[in-house]
């Protein structure tokens, strides 16, 4: 069977408008660094670009398809480079001491809370970044699940998600994307813990259904092999699920 996805396995969340945040370069509502949204926005348009290429080839418009393929290659490489070089500009601020005479300053409760909030947002951003890599490599470049780049970013995204759910509601789209690609016991255990914490924190059926679909993907991958494509949408249809990831 083909290792190339026949449809997008991971629909990207729609990038919203930018919202000013009291925490400077982060959007507290979205739980994500605003600097990442332009990258996500560009990435979200690549699938329609691929569709245009297929349509041009089907219509025998090879010259148009060639131009579109070159544009897709250049754009995807630019996005890959931007994701690679991206780093958060916001870090928790140093907390003032309760007593200036203390040798080791103690952070105030308010400062600790803000620092924890920012740290959670930065972990969210890292999760989005690594799952964006997965989307680029799996959906746009059609690399197989077993490819080292897919497994590398799945591991890193799941690790960021695990940290994010400790202090925030957690990022569902990055978690779902990375979890669907998890093949090692450690990565799957990390995904399971993140889903359970997210479900306890939010108590939403949407999260429980997403977790159930992920487990369905794992079962089919384990049965058929890592190189065989498993479309999570098929599992949703079979179970009558409508999962909102964005």
pLDDT for res 246: 65
Q: Region 210-221: what's the mean pLDDT?
A: 96
Distance, CA of 143 to CA of 213 (rounded, Å): 21
Distance, CA of 150 to CA of 182 (rounded, Å): 9
With 0-12 / 13-18 / 19 or more C-beta atoms within 10 angstroms meaning exposed / middle / buried, residue 132 is buried
Residue 32 pairs in a beta bridge with 27
Q: Region 98-122: what's the mean pLDDT?
A: 60
Distance, CA of 4 to CA of 212 (rounded, Å): 24
DSSP 8-class letter at 107:
B
- Averaged pLDDT of the chain: 81
41 vs 31, more confident: 41
Distance, CA of 207 to CA of 244 (rounded, Å): 9
Whole-number CA gyration radius for the chain: 20
Distance, CA of 204 to CA of 136 (rounded, Å): 29
Q: Examine the pLDDT at 57 and tell me if it is beyond 80.
A: yes
CB neighbours (10 Å) of residue 177?
32
β strands within the chain, DSSP E: 26-27, 32-33
pTM comes to 0.80
Percent of the chain with pLDDT over 90: 53
What are the residues whose beta carbons fall under 8 Å from the beta carbon of 134, sequence distance 6 or more?
10, 150, 153, 154, 157, 177, 178, 181
Which band of pLDDT confidence, cut at 50, 70 and 90, is reported for residue 188? very high
CA distances from 169 to 24, 30, 35, 241 (A): 20, 11, 20, 22
Q: Examine the pLDDT at 241 and tell me if it is beyond 80.
A: yes
- Residue 146 token pair: 């077993």
> If you search the block for the tokens 């994010």, which residue do you land on?
164
Give the range with max mean pLDDT: 9-18, 26-35, 189-198, 235-244.
189-198
Q: Comparing C-alpha atoms, which of 186, 246, 241 is closest to residue 211? A: 241
pLDDT for res 24: 43
Which band of pLDDT confidence, cut at 50, 70 and 90, is reported for residue 111? low
- Residue 10 token pair: 């991971």
Residue 97 pairs in a beta bridge with 107
pLDDT for res 223: 92
Range of lowest pLDDT (11-20, 29-38, 206-215) = 11-20
Q: Region 113-117: what's the mean pLDDT?
A: 63
Contact 170, 198 (CB under 8 A): yes
Residue 27 pairs in a beta bridge with 32
- Residue 20 token pair: 């000013």
pLDDT for res 170: 80
């Amino acid at each position: 069977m083909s290792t190339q996805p026949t449809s997008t396995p991971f629909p990207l969340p729609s990038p919203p408008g930018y919202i000013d945040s009291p925490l400077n370069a982060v959007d507290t509502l979205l739980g994500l660094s605003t600097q990442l949204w332009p990258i996500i926005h560009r990435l979200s348009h690549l699938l329609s670009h691929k569709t245009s290429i297929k349509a041009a080839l089907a219509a025998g418009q090879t010259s148009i398809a060639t131009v579109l393929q070159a544009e897709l290659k250049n754009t995807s490489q630019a996005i890959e480079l931007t994701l690679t070089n991206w780093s958060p500009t916001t870090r928790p601020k140093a907390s003032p001491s309760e007593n200036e005479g203390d040798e080791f300053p103690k952070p105030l409760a308010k400062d600790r809370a803000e620092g924890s909030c920012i740290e959670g947002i930065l972990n969210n951003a890292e999760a989005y970044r690594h799952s964006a890599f997965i989307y680029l490599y799996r959906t746009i470049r059609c690399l197989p699940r077993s490819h080292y780049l897919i497994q590398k970013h799945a591991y890193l995204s799941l690790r960021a998600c695990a940290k994010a759910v400790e202090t925030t509601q957690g990022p569902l789209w990055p978690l779902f994307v990375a979890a669907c690609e998890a093949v090692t016991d450690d990565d799957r255990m990390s995904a399971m813990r993140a889903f359970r914490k997210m479900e306890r924190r939010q108590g939403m059926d949407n999260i429980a259904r997403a977790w159930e679909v992920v487990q369905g993907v794992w079962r089919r991958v384990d049965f058929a092999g890592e190189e065989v494509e498993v479309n999570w949408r098929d599992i949703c249809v079979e179970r009558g699920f409508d999962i909102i990831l964005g």
